[in-house]
Structure 1
Amino acid sequence: MKRVRVAVVGAGVIGSSTAVCIAEALPMCSVTLVADKFSPDTTSDVAAGIFFPTEFPDVPLERQRRWVMDSFDHLSAIAQSEHAADAGVMLLSGWQIFKEVPANKKPFWSNHVMSFRFMTEAELKRFQGYKFGQAVTTLLCECSSYLPWMEDRFRKAGGVVESKKISSLEELNYDIIVNCVGLGSKTLVGDDEVYPIRGQILKVEAPWLKHFIRCGDGLTYIFPGARSITVGGTRQQNDWRLEFDEDDAKSILKRCSKLAPSLKRAKVLSQLVGLRPSRRNPRVEREVVQIRGRRVPVIHNYGHGGWGVTLAWGTSVDVLGLVRQCVNEMQPQAKL
């Protein structure tokens, strides 16, 4: 049986997850991961990496639940395995706090994390001006460790890695193409619905902080990791700047220090900026494109915004199903 040639374009957390998912599940496929940037130079490397879902307006809730469940189960298994340290995946507990009581106090994903409850009055007391909170045990995935670990896992599954900048789908001579280029989809496939949300963070040294703190608007947060604390952030729509902004840094430290005053003594280790590939809804679907006179299935998996780590494995499982359908159409006898 002839092997089906599959190209996964983009090596951030979405592309890496998709490539591993396909390579491990479909040995009859020859999978190549194509990108011009790999870790530590991807947008995903800037991500805080906490597993914290949101709700998208036009995606059926049941599909979103499946994405969240599949992703959490995948990361949770790693966190409880011997590979946790190498992969940079760990359990993390903390609080999400609100200045006003939200309309939906118990979101759809509350049953899909390790634990979820409302904060007590004693817990809220330390956060002046905040009226409601949720105590959550979730997961943290540090992409600076996770992406190299996933690349190694991909290679062990027979995958091939190619460093190359792709400006047009015409450059790809494969049976199936999977597009995971995130913000690059604006030019690669002409999607004007995808746009940047600029994020700026600082990595600081504060080993005494063990619990995360996240404001309900998602703008201000403190996430302890294995080697440093991530403090943020910014959510600047349609802002393409990749330069570090000192005013933003001062604002981040001021806001975070109000939540955890001991941060005033923390040493700043690094400063990072990334552009979240945002869209009203993630695009996870299949189309057929005419390339070099051939009809080629192109499967899209991008537009996750600031929820790439949270949804990466779940949407990759969806993509796996679409690739499987394509292979069955090409080789009906395979019956995958």
Structure 2
Amino acid sequence: MERELSGEVIVVGGGVIGLTTALVLARSGRRVRVWAREPAERTTSAVAGALWWPYRIQPEQLVGQWALATLAVYEGLAEQARETGVRMVEGVHLGVRMDELGTWAAQVPGLSETAAGAGLAARLPLIDMPVHLRWLRERVLKAGGLLEVREVTDLNQVPAAVVVNCTGLGARSLVPDPTVRPVRGQLVVVENPGITTWLTSADEHAAESTYFFPQPCGLVLGGTAEEDAWSLEPDPRVAAEIVARCAAVRPEIAGARVLEHRVGLRPARDAVRLERQVLPGGRVLVHNYGHGGAGVTVAWGCAREAAGLAISAAS
């Protein structure tokens, strides 16, 4: 093992979970390094459509708490949308009812059933991830943290008394944790024909869904949720089906010029792993991974809990 970096906390993983956790730690006065095998703009987080909403993530009770804590942060960040990438945007979740959701739903400001009873309407955070990841990275540095592109192959060999594991899908081999699995999501970005609201029609257990999010880069169309699928190559047939499903809701999408195809692998797990593990020799490993399709939605709530575990261990 390399010489231990005395007093530092090393966060392994540079997506939205890792950077948010590092920022909370740095702001608490801890010396923090982020080790990531690739820059944030190349992580799964950068591909996300990034609407705040608990999707494909468990356990429900804890998720609700983490999500509401994160929502409160995003509402504040939306006041500086240009810098943070967070905007509050109106939209509708089709086919969703309040009584189908957990107790957290009653605490989401303005969340209500549509007049026609077709779903739930809300004004929710919609995040431009490239901008938001850049903002997180800059804030970590401003708070005194360090960011390094560095691949970790053994968590036991990371030279710090406290290590926070935010490696997402990488935890499958790194922990190792075979219960972590990919849920493949494919998106299509088209020129926005003038749509200003978001819409989702998604069954958490279905492999296909319909949604569109107006982002600065264009209108992001989705999507898919393919269990245990590892390919990062866009499938032209799937892309055409995504456009067709969205155009069935808003016909003007049919003629929109395609700008980009995206594929991301959601780091799914039966339940988020957020806990402290004591390693031989007294070193501490805090796990914060397995957020499925809702890493953006719970980032701040999970970061605060993970940071609390790390800080208590370092004290």
What is the TM-score normalised by the length of structure 1? 0.87
Residue by residue over 1:158-196, the C-alpha shift from the partner in whole angstroms, topping out at 9 and shown as x without a partner, is 001111111111431011000000000011101111100
Match of 2:37 in 1: 36
Larger radius of gyration: 1
User: How far apart, CA to CA, are the structure 1 residues paired with 2:66 and 2:97?
Assistant: 24
Give the 4+ runs in structure 1 shifted more than 4 A.
Answer: 54-59
Contact 1:113/1:137, CA 8 A, preserved across alignment: no
SS of the residue corresponding to residue 14 of structure 2 reads coil
Match of 2:78 in 1: 79
The amino acid that maps onto 2:192 is A
Match of 1:277 in 2: 267
Match of 1:190 in 2: 176
Deviation at 1:42, TM superposition (A): 0.6
- Alignment of structure 1 residues 57-96 onto 2, 5 Å: 58=59, 61=61, 63-80=62-79, 83-96=80-93
Match of 1:13 in 2: 16
The amino acid that maps onto 2:136 is M
Match of 2:159 in 1: 173
Match of 2:108 in 1: 113
User: How far apart, CA to CA, are the structure 2 residues paired with 1:54 and 1:231?
Assistant: 16
**CA distance 1:223–1:159, change in 2 (3 Å):** same
Count of residue pairs the alignment pairs up:
307
- Alignment of structure 1 residues 193-232 onto 2, 5 Å: 193-217=179-203, 219-232=209-222
The amino acid that maps onto 1:22 is L
What is the TM-score normalised by the length of structure 2? 0.92
Deviation at 1:296, TM superposition (A): 1.2
Q: 2:249 aligns with which of 243, 259, 270?
A: 259
The amino acid that maps onto 2:99 is N
Identity %: 33
SS of the residue corresponding to residue 210 of structure 1 reads coil
The amino acid that maps onto 1:110 is A
Match of 1:334 in 2: none
SS of the residue corresponding to residue 115 of structure 1 reads coil
Q: 1:24 aligns with which of 21, 24, 27?
A: 27
Deviation at 1:207, TM superposition (A): 4.7
Deviation at 1:224, TM superposition (A): 0.9
**CA distance 1:3–1:114, change in 2 (3 Å):** farther
**CA distance 1:167–1:230, change in 2 (3 Å):** same
Question: Alpha carbon RMSD of aligned pairs, Å?
Answer: 1.8
- Alignment of structure 1 residues 316-331 onto 2, 5 Å: 316-328=303-315
Deviation at 1:240, TM superposition (A): 0.4
**CA distance 1:178–1:77, change in 2 (3 Å):** same
Unaligned runs of 5+ in 2: none
Residue by residue over 1:276-313, the C-alpha shift from the partner in whole angstroms, topping out at 9 and shown as x without a partner, is 000011111110123xxx33100000100110100011
Deviation at 1:216, TM superposition (A): 3.6
Residue by residue over 1:232-287, the C-alpha shift from the partner in whole angstroms, topping out at 9 and shown as x without a partner, is 01100000001111111011011111011100121111111010000011111110
Match of 2:228 in 1: 238
Unaligned runs of 5+ in 1: 125-131, 329-336
